[in-house]
Amino acid sequence: MADLAVTDIGVKFGGLVALESVSFAAPRGTVTGVIGPNGAGKTTLFNVMSGFVKPTSGSITWRGQPFHPRPDQLVREGISRTLQGVGLFARLTAVENVMVGAASSRQTGLGSALLALPGGDRADRKLRGEALALMERLGVADVADRCAGDLPYPIQKRVAMARALISRPRLLLLDEPAGGLGAEDLEPLVQLIKGLPADADRPCSVVLVEHHMDLVMRVCDQVVVLDFGRCVAAGTPAEVQASPEVAAAYLGVVPE
């Protein structure tokens, strides 16, 4: 069963067609990669899936039901998104940033603690414990109490991933997870992403946009290729790598 299905999605910005009749389904428990050259429409597709851009045409279903994503309700729906870059609150500590990721899905927690509401302390401690456990798993527990803005970029990326995971999403949208990372940071990220769908504690499907082909080919079960707003190929990483349309999109080689 597909967790998320987008059908015939079109987006126009004035006269510019950013997406034209794009369809794909993210089967439950899989990793789907969306790739394509600059300006192909990847970010626009992500923005449609997370409600930041309203499609001009087409529809989305989530777990079989019609779905009209709203950024402020995604976490409640079981969907979490990381941003290009990191998007952390620079003056909050790393662990506070992770706790913020859960705040919109809980009645209590960081918000009530900050506002000194009844029960806030207990809920805050519980949430902090969960955040620290997740940070431990991602190898960043040792920086929990440091200001996020002072941390090296690769560490900030991991904190941002922990923030996306703490709400226990059923669908994780990763916007360029390898962006700005060096070769030495890639392997742990590959292992983390590959493990997410099968994670006994918090299994989730993953859709990612990424320029880093090595990561895409290693972690994805299926790859969707966009070019000039249209889906020009879709399939397993091996199928997509062998596709003449993909060579044409990236290299300007015209398929025979």
Ligand X SMILES: Nc1ncnc2c1ncn2[C@@H]1O[C@H](COP(=O)(O)OP(=O)(O)OP(=O)(O)O)[C@@H](O)[C@H]1O
What is the contact surface with ligand X in residues (CB under 6 A)? 13, 16, 18, 36, 38-44
> Is the CB of 16 or the CB of 116 nearer to ligand X?
16
> Is the CB of 53 or the CB of 102 nearer to ligand X?
53
Instruction: State the nearest-atom distance from the C-beta of 70 to ligand X, in Å.
Output: 18
C-alpha–C-alpha distance, residues 19 and 24, integer Å: 13
C-alpha–C-alpha distance, residues 215 and 223, integer Å: 12
The helix, strand and coil proportions of the chain, stated in percent and rounded to the nearest 5, come to 40, 25, 35
Q: By the 8 A CB rule, do 100 and 192 touch?
A: no
> Is the CB of 12 or the CB of 194 nearer to ligand X?
12
In three-state secondary structure terms, 14 is coil
End-to-end CA separation in angstroms for the chain: 36
> Is the CB of 38 or the CB of 65 nearer to ligand X?
38
> Is the CB of 36 or the CB of 169 nearer to ligand X?
36
Q: By the 8 A CB rule, do 210 and 177 touch?
A: yes
Instruction: State the nearest-atom distance from the C-beta of 161 to ligand X, in Å.
Output: 20
Instruction: State the nearest-atom distance from the C-beta of 143 to ligand X, in Å.
Output: 29
Instruction: State the nearest-atom distance from the C-beta of 56 to ligand X, in Å.
Output: 12
Instruction: State the nearest-atom distance from the C-beta of 52 to ligand X, in Å.
Output: 9
How many CA atoms lie within 13 Å of 150's alpha carbon, on the beta-carbon side? 9
Instruction: State the nearest-atom distance from the C-beta of 231 to ligand X, in Å.
Output: 12
B/e letters for 101-140, b = 16+ CB within 10 Å, e = fewer, are: bbbebbebbbbbbeeeeeebeebbeebbebbbebbebbeb
Question: What's the count of helices (H) and strands (E) in the chain, helices before strands?
Answer: 10, 10
Alpha-carbon distance values, 134 to 52, 58, 85, 163 (Å): 28, 37, 20, 9
> Is the CB of 13 or the CB of 89 nearer to ligand X?
13
